């Protein structure tokens, strides 16, 4: 029995990485899927992979007009939105001294503002429908600091607490709001970090794997956690920050 049969999911950042894996899994589990991403080529490939009950919008989700467009198109095509999965995210590896104002603003806009803009539009839709599930992709670095990642850590910490605040605000409306805090996961963004830091990719990935399970995560593993939070299996779960990091934070104070 498909866990998301009859559901409609809007997934940001769905053209690659965790967002792509989530879109593919949700579609296999019976959901109609709307994907929003700035990566046009990648988004169109995911649409081809899914094949049916799917749409792609080439949007900049830091802009209110683009958020309205993808929400309205999803409603026109599928009639409802039951699940919002905010996977869109970027990282800039730099200290506060090294960051430019523009870089700070862009990280905060993509990682935090986009969640605010879409939630502002979609929560009322879920209220009218009797409930829904919002899943935000945060990070282990939203719970603990990391080197040369000031803007990223700040943005993901904001996602964690925005998730909890929204869970408090909207629980009575049967809207569950949770976030996932992945550790290093095998995505293009992780490899881009190596380039930003001027490190050899192989060395960087090997260092990233230094955690109790001895490896980095796979996007599909994070997607399975998103499926849990989207489905009835987590019907009494809201306001949680689910850490999936191979034990990376297990020894943290």
Catalytic entry in 133, 152, 166, 234: 152
The secondary structure of the chain as a DSSP string is --TTTT-EEEEETTTSHHHHHHHHHHHHTT-EEEEEES-HHHHHHHHHHH-SSEEEEE--TTSHHHHHHHHHHHHHHHS---EEEE---------TTT--HHHHHHHHIIIIIHHHHHHHHHHHHHHHHT-EEEEEE--GGGTS--TT-HHHHHHHHHHHHHHHHHHHHHGGGTEEEEEEEE-SBSSHHHHHHHHHHT--HHHHHHHHT-STTSS-B-HHHHHHHHHHHHSGGGTT--S-EEEESTTTTTT--
The reply to whether 228 belongs to the active site is no
Catalytic positions are: 152
């Amino acid at each position: 029995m498909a866990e998301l049969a009859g559901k409609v999911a809007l997934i940001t950042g769905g053209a690659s990485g965790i967002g792509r894996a989530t879109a593919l899994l949700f579609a296999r589990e019976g959901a109609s899927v709307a994907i929003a991403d700035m990566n046009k080529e990648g988004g169109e490939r995911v649409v081809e992979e899914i094949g049916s009950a799917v749409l792609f919008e080439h949007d900049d989700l830091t802009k209110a007009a683009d958020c309205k467009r993808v929400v309205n198109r999803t409603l026109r095509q599928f009639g409802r939105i039951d699940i919002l999965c905010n996977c869109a995210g970027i990282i800039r590896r730099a200290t506060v001294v090294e960051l430019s104002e523009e870089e700070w603003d862009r990280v905060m806009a993509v990682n935090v503002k986009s969640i605010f803009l879409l939630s502002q539009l979609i929560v009322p839709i879920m209220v009218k429908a009797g409930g829904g599930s919002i899943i935000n992709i945060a990070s282990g670095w939203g719970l603990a600091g990391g080197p040369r990642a000031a803007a990223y850590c700040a943005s993901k910490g904001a996602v964690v607490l925005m998730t909890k605040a929204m869970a408090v605000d909207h629980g009575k409306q049967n809207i569950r709001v949770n976030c996932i805090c992945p550790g290093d996961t095998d995505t293009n963004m992780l490899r881009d970090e190596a380039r930003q830091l001027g490190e050899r990719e192989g060395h960087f990935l090997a260092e990233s794997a230094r955690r109790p399970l001895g490896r980095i995560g796979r996007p599909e593993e994070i997607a399975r956690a998103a499926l849990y939070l989207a489905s009835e299996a987590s019907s009494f779960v809201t306001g949680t920050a689910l850490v999936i990091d191979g034990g990376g934070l297990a020894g943290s104070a």
